[in-house]
Amino acid sequence: MTREESNTDQPPEHENGIKGKLLIVDDEAAIRWALRRTLQRMNFEIAEAETGEQAIALIRTVRFDAVLLDISMPGMNGIEACRRLRKLMPMLGIVMLTVRNAEEDKIQALDAGADDYITKPFHVGELAARLRAVVRRAYASQTDEAAAIRIGDVELDPARRLVRRAGTPIHVTPKEFELLHFLMSHAGLPLTHARILAAVWGPEYGGELEYLRTFVRQLRKKLGDDAASPKYLLTDSQVGYRFRAGADMAPGGLA
């Protein structure tokens, strides 16, 4: 079974055309109301919580596809709520919402387990795209982790441990394969250096930035990816890396 990332512009639909069941967590009622109205028009099913504690209680009893979580809340803040939600539901999609744009906030959110972040004020289309991406990711993780992944001209087959570019097999080392698999299985989502290192090399890793850069450089060469203007393996400045999502690729694999 092949998971065609390039053909997954929409997340899997629930009954009645619902695009996903979302929990909005924000202490400001006006923001929750505005988000609810906007996202319901896009066929998301919405529930609300005004604190991190309420969100955790809801997650224990109701199955959600994703959580839109404010980073700044009284009591338990968004970062701590994110850590606890991630422990409770490893496959849950989590998008952090913040009014700040500092790089350290983004890194802190992603290291706490968030899949993505978006900064207020934001464009509605951008928010919907981020939410659809995390819903797709959560669904794919739950359905078939051994499925082959194809994005543009790059195909990775976990069961056979093969990588092909434009149909031609390319040689990668075992660790390069694990790194590429992790990046492609999280396509479209930002991944911090620390998260990548811990996931691929183990929990004792986290600060070996130059080590990771070396592997990324090697992968880019093997994928034919121009480091100055990469098509697949993108750099998120000061944060980490992301593999371009199939939905962002034009026919033929061109960005």
Q: What are phi and psi of 74, to 5 degrees?
A: -70, 155
Between the CA of residue 48 and those of 25, 35, 67, 156, 179, what are the distances in Å? 6, 10, 10, 38, 36
pLDDT digits (tens, 9 = 90+) for 146-157: 678 999 999 999
- Rounded to 10 degrees, what is the CA torsion of 46, 48, 54, 60? -10
Q: Does domain 148-253 have CATH number 3.30.70.260?
A: no
DSSP letters along 25-61, please?
E-S-HHHHHHHHHHHHHTTEEEEEESSHHHHHHHHHH
Record the tokens describing residue 231, joined without a space: 């098509």
Sheet holding 191-192, edge to edge: 191-192, 240-243, 233-236
β pairing state of 162-165 and 44-49: unpaired
pLDDT digits (tens, 9 = 90+) for 98-109: 776 667 777 888
Q: Quick one: which H or E segment has residue 164?
A: strand 162-165
Record the tokens describing residue 169, joined without a space: 């097999």
Domain extent listing, the chain: 7-143, 148-253
pLDDT reading at 46 higher than 80: yes
pLDDT digits (tens, 9 = 90+) for 17-36: 557 899 999 999 999 999 99
Fold agreement between 7-143 and 148-253 = no
pLDDT digits (tens, 9 = 90+) for 152-198: 999 999 888 899 999 999 999 888 999 999 999 888 889 999 889 98
pLDDT band at 249 (very low <50, low <70, confident <90, very high): low
Q: Which of 92, 123, 71 is nearest to 20 (CA)?
A: 92
Between the CA of residue 32 and those of 60, 93, 115, what are the distances in Å? 21, 18, 20
Q: Does domain 7-143 have CATH number 3.40.50.720?
A: no
**Which of 54-58, 137-141, 226-230 comes out lowest in average pLDDT?**
137-141
Percent of the chain whose pLDDT exceeds 90: 41
Which residues make beta-bridge pairs with 192? 240
- pTM of the entire predicted model: 0.67
